[in-house]
């Protein structure tokens, strides 16, 4: 790893050079929230964002993605990964991306995901402002922040820049990177530790304790109670950086000779997610909303831990903030069960 | 390939969805190349009695005498598609269902309210009279959804996928700022998706014009409309009545 300093004044030039080189996707303001969008100018960049509505995963698996098109009996795969830069990713989202990297190759190598992922350079940045529901400081401590190419931490007068890979190295000519002092390195480490400590909400137990106890509560009536106001809307899945389920559909075009196969992000909290066809009819293997509600929490606290090396939740707080019924917050559910 | 014979019929409605279709422009003209319209009052005058492959029905079932006409259409058609809120849920017409029949008759027809040709009843979806194979809801319909479903039908897809989850999911997919995060209220949590959530994206609440999802959490909606949407208790209770008279738990 190489470490540099980039002054506040030099950030603009660096980002402007990047924009000139390839599309740069970064947090920009959208009314009261933020989203990862393609930057048109450095003025739109908001490294002070709290969190985005959707996670940056959307750049690797678009919310709706054509997989194959066909015409007159010939088909074509829709792989067109363009080089791009994902700028300003928070540490919790970087963790989630490394989970996604692995999940998209574990049983099947997802060429659509990985071709986009490979074409992307990821530049992380520290959390300057906390999302009201964030708890990343107390969850998934087992997993390291890794897989990114460069990381910026805001310190006095500029940024501490860590360069972690060859892809990161390749960007060095685009900015006026200068030497750092030991003190600046220490300051940056403090900034990141403080960001973890200052999360507005916290889990009180280790991942292992949580995993065991939540599993023990599989048959508890807590799920029914907690999910009473659930709309089965799936918003808590859609905004989650570690959710990865999708639905595939085939569709004809107007001309009866062509069409496409596409996939769309799916959500296990919706009723139709667990509907399967059985002998001409259909069957729902998670018919009750309490079962679906429980399933998500089990997935985030217990089911995937052994495979991932930690829980499939990075504490971004998006699910909690997006739930209009205000029942999706993993912290309140987990802490309530842990206190029992 | 033989052209698919299609027909349009209208019942109690504003015919806005038919107009919406004639607004489609090029994709609709393309669709017309694949089908042969045999009956379409808004755009042509001939009427037929021949067999129809796909019938599109607009408008709600709000007079007992319409039952016979609907049954005839069912009889003549291979596939029946109800389109527009009126046909699918009773739509805005069903607002009257919240009142006593005598009251709404008097309010609309005054002294003539008991004349036999003005006979009426609660507005019901077409499916209350006959079997409906596909429903394309919305007030008015979403033209992309209409084209998508009809395209699959005329190309012979045996079961066309339509979503059953709430509008919120589509709203999130397009990364709209939630109305609740913008100091407003919304009913997308109980509204049936398929429209692509255009209203919140335009900064206005979802009014559930497509009707409720199958198991709407009405109690939770009432609570959220009050606690987060700032509506009064009475208004929160009534808020979702506009398009859902035939779908409500409290009806
Ligand atoms: S928990 Fe909340 S966000 Fe998730 S499906 Fe239920 S109502 Fe929707
Ligand atoms: S479960 Fe919630 S807090 Fe955890 S990663 Fe997903 S959206 Fe973030
Ligand atoms: S929580 Fe549900 S939607 Fe998310 S990845 Fe797991 S099963 Fe899929
Ligand atoms: S704006 Fe409405 S439809 Fe969109 S997420 Fe919020 S409640 Fe749901
Ligand atoms: S967002 Fe709601 S009101 Fe708007 S078209 Fe869709 S269902 Fe109708």
For residue A37, give every residue at least 6 positions away whose Cβ sits within 8 Å of its Cβ, in sequence order, or none: A25, A26, A28, A30, A44
Ligand 2 centroid from CA A134, angstroms: 9
pLDDT of B1: 60
Contact A18, A80 (CB under 8 A): no
Task: Kindly identify which residue of chain B lies nearest to residue A61, measuring between CA atoms.
Answer: B173
In chain A, the percentage of residues whose pLDDT exceeds 90 is: 93
Going by alpha carbons, the residue nearest to atom 2 of ligand 2 is A319
Residues B135, B69: Cα–Cα separation, whole Å: 19
pLDDT tens digits, A297-313: 999 999 999 899 999 99
Residues of A in contact with B148 (CB under 8 A): 251
pLDDT of B251: 67
Side-chain-side CA neighbours of residue A306 (13 Å): 2
Going by alpha carbons, the residue nearest to atom 1 of ligand 2 is A313
Q: Is B57 a pocket residue for ligand 5 (Cβ < 6 Å)?
A: no
What Rg, from alpha-carbon coordinates, does chain A have?
21
Confidence of residue A270 (pLDDT cuts 50, 70, 90): very high
Q: Is A122 a pocket residue for ligand 1 (Cβ < 6 Å)?
A: no
Confidence of residue B83 (pLDDT cuts 50, 70, 90): very high
Contact A304, A244 (CB under 8 A): no
Residues of B in contact with A236 (CB under 8 A): none
User: Mean pLDDT in chain A?
Assistant: 96
Among A228, A251, A264, select the one facing B152 at the smallest CB separation: A251
Strands (DSSP E) contained in B51-195 are 52-58, 77-83, 134-136
Contact B13, B86 (CB under 8 A): yes
- For residue B44, pLDDT beyond 90: no
- Range scoring the smallest mean pLDDT among A54-58, A283-287, B55-59, B152-156: B152-156
- For residue B47, pLDDT beyond 90: no
How many residue pairs bridge chain A and chain B with CB atoms within 8 Å of each other?
A: 113
pLDDT of A153: 98
pLDDT of B206: 97
- For residue A6, pLDDT beyond 60: yes
Task: Kindly identify which residue of chain A lies nearest to residue B30, measuring between CA atoms.
Answer: A254
Q: Is A282 a pocket residue for ligand 4 (Cβ < 6 Å)?
A: no
Helix (H, G, I), strand (E, B) or coil at B120: coil
**Phi, psi angle pair for A311, to nearest 5°:** -70, 150
Give chain B's domains with CATH numbers. Answer: 4-154 (3.40.50.700), 167-244 (no CATH)
In chain B, the percentage of residues whose pLDDT exceeds 90 is: 55
Residues of B in contact with A231 (CB under 8 A): 166, 168, 189-190, 216-217, 220-221
Nearest to A326 by CA among B181, B138, B7, B236: B181
- Range scoring the smallest mean pLDDT among A57-61, A123-127, A152-156, B9-13: B9-13
Among A32, A229, A264, select the one facing B223 at the smallest CB separation: A229
Give the closest-approach CA distance of A185 to chain B in angstroms. 36
CB contact under 8 A, A235 and B169: yes
Asked if B228 has any chain A CB less than 8 Å from its own CB, the reply is yes
Among A249, A255, A325, select the one facing B220 at the smallest CB separation: A325
CA of A322, closest atom in ligand 4 = 5
CB contact under 8 A, B177 and A31: yes
pLDDT tens digits, A35-93: 999 999 999 999 999 999 999 999 999 999 999 999 998 999 999 888 999 999 999 99
Helix (H, G, I), strand (E, B) or coil at B24: coil
Ligand 1 centroid from CA A162, angstroms: 38
In chain A, the percentage of residues whose pLDDT exceeds 70 is: 100
Nearest to A116 by CA among A37, A36, A40, A62: A62
Side-chain-side CA neighbours of residue A30 (13 Å): 22
Average pLDDT over residues A249-264: 92
Tally Cβ neighbours within 10 Å of residue B131: 8
Ligand 3 centroid from CA A266, angstroms: 8
Asked if A245 has any chain B CB less than 8 Å from its own CB, the reply is no
Question: In terms of residues, how long is chain A?
Answer: 340
pLDDT tens digits, B143-152: 889 999 999 9
pLDDT tens digits, A92-115: 999 999 999 999 999 899 999 999
- Range scoring the smallest mean pLDDT among A56-70, B38-52, B102-116: B38-52
Reported ipTM: 0.96
């Amino acid at each position: 790893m190489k470490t540099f300093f980039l002054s506040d004044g030099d950030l603009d030039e660096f980002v402007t050079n990047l924009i000139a080189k390839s599309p740069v996707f970064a947090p920009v303001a959208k009314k009261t929230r933020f989203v990862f969008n393609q930057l048109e100018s450095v003025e739109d960049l908001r490294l002070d964002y709290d969190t985005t509505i959707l996670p940056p995963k959307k750049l690797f698996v678009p919310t709706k993605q054509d997989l194959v098109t066909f015409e007159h009996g010939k088909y074509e795969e829709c792989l067109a990964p363009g080089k791009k830069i994902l700028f300003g990713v928070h540490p919790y989202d970087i963790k989630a991306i490394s989970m996604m990297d692995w999940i998209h190759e574990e049983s099947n190598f997802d060429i659509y995901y990985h071709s986009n992922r490979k074409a992307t350079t990821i530049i992380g940045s520290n959390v300057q402002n906390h999302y009201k529901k964030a708890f990343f400081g107390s969850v998934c401590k087992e997993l390291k922040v890794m897989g990114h190419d460069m990381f910026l931490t805001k310190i006095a007068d500029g940024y501490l820049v860590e360069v972690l890979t060859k892809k990161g190295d390749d960007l060095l000519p685009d900015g006026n990177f200068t030497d750092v002092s030991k003190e600046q390195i220490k300051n940056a480490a403090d900034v990141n530790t403080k960001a973890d400590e200052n999360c507005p909400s916290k889990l009180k137990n280790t991942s292992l304790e949580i995993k065991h106890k939540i599993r023990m509560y599989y048959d508890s009536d807590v799920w029914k109670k907690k999910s009473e106001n659930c709309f089965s809307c799936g918003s808590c899945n859609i905004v989650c950086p570690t959710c990865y389920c999708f639905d595939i559909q085939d569709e004809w075009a107007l001309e009866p000779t062509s069409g496409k196969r596409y996939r769309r992000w799916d959500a296990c909290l919706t009723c139709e997610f667990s509907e399967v066809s059985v002998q001409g009819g259909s069957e729902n293997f998670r018919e009750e909303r309490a079962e679906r509600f429980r399933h998500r929490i089990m997935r985030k606290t217990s089911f995937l831990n052994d495979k991932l090396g930690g829980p499939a939740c990075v504490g971004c707080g998006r699910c909690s903030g997006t739930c209009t019924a205000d029942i999706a917050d993993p912290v309140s559910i987990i802490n309530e069960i842990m206190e029992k | 390939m033989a052209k698919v014979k299609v027909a349009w019929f209208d019942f109690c409605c504003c015919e806005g969805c038919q107009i919406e279709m004639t607004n489609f422009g090029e994709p609709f003209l393309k669709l017309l190349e694949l089908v042969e319209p045999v009956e379409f009052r808004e755009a042509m005058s001939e009427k037929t009695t021949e067999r129809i492959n796909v019938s599109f029905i607009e408008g709600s079932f709000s007079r007992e005498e319409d039952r016979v006409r609907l049954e005839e259409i069912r009889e003549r058609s291979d596939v029946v598609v109800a389109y527009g809120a009126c046909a699918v849920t009773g739509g805005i017409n069903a607002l009257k269902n919240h009142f006593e029949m005598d009251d709404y008759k008097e309010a609309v027809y005054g002294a003539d309210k008991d004349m036999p040709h003005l006979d009426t009843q609660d507005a019901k979806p077409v499916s209350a009279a006959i079997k409906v194979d596909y429903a394309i809801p919305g007030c008015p319909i979403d033209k992309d959804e209409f084209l998508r479903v009809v395209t699959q039908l005329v190309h012979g897809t045996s079961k066309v996928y339509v979503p059953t989850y709430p509008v919120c999911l589509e709203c999130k997919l397009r990364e709209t700022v939630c109305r609740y995060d913008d100091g407003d209220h919304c009913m997308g949590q109980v509204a049936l998706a398929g429209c692509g959530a255009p209203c919140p994206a335009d900064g206005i609440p979802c009014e559930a014009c497509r009707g409720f999802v199958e198991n709407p959490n009405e109690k939770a909606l009432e609570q959220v409309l009050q606690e987060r949407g700032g509506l009064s208790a009475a208004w929160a209770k009534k808020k979702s009545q506009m398009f859902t008279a035939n779908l409500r738990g409290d009806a």
